[in-house]
Amino acid sequence: MDLRHKSFALFFGLLMVLTLSKFSEGQSLCSVNDQFILFKENNTLNAVVTTLTTEADVSVSITNEKPPGLFELNGLDLIAITVLDYETFNTPYEVDIECTKDGSSPAKLNLRIILENINDNPPVFDESEYAINVAELLKVDTSVARITATDADEGDQLYYRLDAPEGEFDLEASFNPNILVKKRLDYEKVKQITMTLFVQDTPISSTETVSHTSSTTIKVNIVDVDNRPPWFQPCTTIENDNSIMCINTGYTGTVNSTGLATGPLPLEPGPILAIDGDAGINEAIGYKFLADNPTFEINSDTGSITMVKPVNQEGPIVLSVMAYQKQNTDQYATNTVTFTVRMTTNHPPKFLDPSYEGFISEDAGVNSLVMESKTSNKPLRVQATDDDFVNGVNPNIAFEVIDGSDFYITLEGFILLAKEIPFGTLNLQMRVVDKTNGESDTASLTIEVTPGDQQLRFGGYKAEDMAALGGSLAVVIILCLVGIGLLAYRVKSHNSNWKKISEVSVFRSNLGGGSGGPKEGVQYVNESFRHDDDTESVKSGLAADLEKKLESGVRSAEEQKISTASVPQKTSNIRAASDSSSLASADIEKEVKPILTKERRAEDGYKAVWFKQDIDPNTKEDVVIIPDTGEPVDHDDDDDDDDDEDDEGNLKTDKEPARRYSKDSDSENEERLTSDL
């Protein structure tokens, strides 16, 4: 039971005590169940408040009513003839009723009608829309307003809820509508926030059905504060964390080296202009130089720069300018103005010819050159001279087409097509400009655009001609590559033959002790070297020539032996084989080694020669070379007759057994082989 009902019960008890005696007086003729009657507000018309109980033949009537005109008697029923409202009259209603009967004293009833309050009224805000001003950059949880509603139902507790679009604000509690800042507010980002405040007479988190609710609109106007300096214009805004900066790269201009310019100097991207960074305040801005300058001055209100006297120095000239708030000079910004000093000349650049004519094909591509004639392969070139230079060449000039975008001119004066155009004749104007001082000259340019294929391109040849030439060159290159590949293959295939020829040459050199030829009276035969699988290659010219030279050396030695008759000459044979079909200049893959070795080797490039016995190099005896059969030599054959032939058909010496190198002693064999050679 809430406070309202407790108060009502106390009041009702006191009222019963005070009127108890009066009520008892009329109980003999008429009565009611309860003198204090509870009746709910917002009743219907003619609703029965209470019913009287009387004896027979008793008449009843209302003698007094406070306030009057609210109740009537309908027989023994007391009815309400109007709708009663607790909020309009919340004290008990009084109704006095008199009961009369013939022969009896009249009886009186004093009734008290108490209205029972019900929750029949919604909460109400004083305004349907509220407007509040909130300064930007306030701290979070700062209170900015408190808006409440009222409820006609006495004793009702109200509960609130705030709907902010981005959560910028919230309430301190649902039962306390104190509005707090919940996010950092920036005037440059948002200038006004519209919110809705709701109220109801049941708790927000309750599952109970909400009986009555109401709402109002709150418009929050963000107020700009003076927290930003002036911003030079134009500028690029950059956001860094929670701050915004406006970057301007400075201003540039040009002044003549002689003469005094009148009026404000033109600047790029001028003129100088600065605005208050806080647009909501928009305070007036002033300007000044950070350092005194005797040549220039600046208007403190407009920022315009004018010349006081001619420039007497070379450029560039850099001026530092400060923009400041006139009411708050602590807010300021600085920037630079750079002037290029333009040297004054006596002569402007001038075209060599007052007019030029060129030709270009309709089907010429973008960036194609304009030619001097329809059939020429020489591009049209415009030139200009400047008498201020000894050779007439000004390196600071540039060419441009005036009011035209179909062509453009390079620094060298060549005219190129900028976009595709139909055939016809174009009459244009050109200009040559000295970039240091702006002096210029003009000339006319007539370009005839010929129909497709009328003008030869690429130096007098059509595109299809150049394509055919490129195809022919490609075929020639492919044939050359094929020839080179075949030649490389042939060289590689004859590489082994060439190595064998080289081996024979080294072998001959070792036998002859140098270039003098083989030793006299000594002949060498190696059947194993001869009988390789490449015997057909002996037909080559180099192998034949080598064999003739070896035989010539042998014959010379035999003739010398016959003339001296000092030692009987035995018949000896020499056989050499070499495989080579042609001379090749390929590099030898392995280092060439002497053919004669004291041991057998399996590698490519070596041949083994075995001797039956040691030979004295000072004696002119025949040497028998035993073929390399891979079989061990039988030492018992040393005692065979000297004149007998061995198994291979070679003759042995008739004076002493053939001596050979032993396979058991490598050091001994090495000494013998070295001595023989």
Task: Give the mean pLDDT of 164-180.
Answer: 95
Asked if 418 and 407 touch (Cβ cutoff 8 Å), the reply is: yes
Highest mean pLDDT among 82-91, 194-203, 467-476: 194-203
pLDDT digits (tens, 9 = 90+) for 395-453: 989 999 998 899 999 999 999 999 999 989 999 999 999 888 788 999 999 999 998 76
pLDDT at 658: 40
Percent of the chain with pLDDT over 70: 67
- What string of H, E and C letters represents the secondary structure of 486-541? HHHHHHHHCHHHHHHHHHHHHHHHHHCCCCCCCCCCCCCECHHHHCCCCHHHHHCH
Which residues make Cβ contacts (< 8 Å) with residue 482, sequence separation at least 6? none
| Band of pLDDT at residue 581, cut at 50, 70 and 90 | very low
Residue 29 neighbours by CB distance under 10 Å: 23
Convert 638-662 to b/e letters by CB count within 10 Å (16 or more is b).
Answer: eeeeeeeeeeeebbbbeeeebbbbe
Residue 41 sits at φ, ψ, to 5 deg, of -70, 170
> Does 502 or 621 have the greater pLDDT score?
502
Does the pLDDT value for residue 575 go beyond 50?
A: no
Mean pLDDT check: name the lowest of 155-169, 275-289, 558-572.
558-572
Longest alpha-carbon distance in the chain: 211
pLDDT at 653: 41
Task: Give the mean pLDDT of 537-566.
Answer: 47
CA–CA separation, 252 vs 335, rounded Å? 11
Mean pLDDT check: name the lowest of 355-369, 394-408, 464-478, 530-544.
530-544
pLDDT digits (tens, 9 = 90+) for 39-57: 988 899 999 999 999 988 8
Asked if 442 and 433 touch (Cβ cutoff 8 Å), the reply is: no
Q: Tokens in use for 91?
A: 């004290």
CA–CA separation, 166 vs 447, rounded Å? 64
Does the pLDDT value for residue 664 go beyond 50?
A: no
Which residues make Cβ contacts (< 8 Å) with residue 626, sequence separation at least 6? 610, 611, 612, 633, 646, 648, 650, 660
pLDDT digits (tens, 9 = 90+) for 586-595: 444 444 444 5
> Does 659 or 512 have the greater pLDDT score?
512
CA–CA separation, 134 vs 181, rounded Å? 9
CA–CA separation, 9 vs 449, rounded Å? 111
pLDDT at 555: 53
Task: Give the mean pLDDT of 111-137.
Answer: 92
Q: Tokens in use for 629?
A: 């059969």
Q: Across the chain, what does the average pLDDT equal?
A: 77
Task: Give the mean pLDDT of 14-23.
Answer: 46
Asked if 130 and 217 touch (Cβ cutoff 8 Å), the reply is: yes
Which residues make Cβ contacts (< 8 Å) with residue 25, sequence separation at least 6? 107, 108
Task: Give the mean pLDDT of 510-519.
Answer: 49
